[in-house]
Amino acid sequence: MNTKPRIVDYIFLGLAVLCFLFTLIFVIVKYPSLPDLLPSHFNASGEIDAWSGKASAAFFPAIVGFILLAILGPIQFFPKLWNNTQGVPACKLPRVIRSTRTGLCLMLFLTEGYFACVAVCTARLSPIPVFVSYLFMGLTAAVIVFILIQTYRK
């Protein structure tokens, strides 16, 4: 039963790490020149609807990105922790594990990329482009549907 991570999993994981590093470095470099009040929340249309102090708003995307990497990065290597492998027939298990792992890596990359966009928009005091939010939500939903199809197909 071949359930080892594939090259595409490592590519998505590497891209997620690069997005996180971009976010962290961007925030550290821009921090001295940021104003005291920064956008801290964006609504579904990408418009700024809350403001916070410089430290919390600037570092929030990097902190959340780090937490996601710390949890979702390693968990992909432990499929027994996933709930969707319970009760799956042995013949389907490798496919379910591979597709779930790839989906987790892709969702981690999408989320880290979205937080990089949030960090840039926060520093620029600008709204998040609407297409970015919809693209993120649509791709995330597509990944979830892909995992579900792979899990339940015959």
Considering only residues 142 and 84, tell me which one the structure prediction assigns the higher pLDDT.
142
Across the range 112-116, mean pLDDT stands at 95
User: Which residue in this structure is represented by tokens 């104003």?
Assistant: 35
Q: What is the pTM of this model?
A: 0.89
pLDDT of residue 1: 64
Q: Which amino acid is at 150?
A: Q
Q: Which two tokens stand for residue 64?
A: 């959340």
* Domain assignments of the chain as residue spans, ordered by start: 7-27+43-152
pLDDT category at 25 given cuts 50, 70, 90 is very high
Average pLDDT value for the chain: 90
Q: What angle do CA 25, 58, 143 make, to 5 degrees?
A: 75
Task: Decide if pLDDT at 31 tops 80.
Answer: yes
Neighbours of 153 (CB within 10 A): 10
Q: Read off φ and ψ for residue 23, nearest 5 degrees.
A: -60, -50
Residues constituting the chain = 154
What is the spatial distance between Cα 150 and Cα 104, in angstroms, rounded to a whole number? Answer: 13
Task: Decide if pLDDT at 67 tops 70.
Answer: yes
pLDDT of residue 45: 84
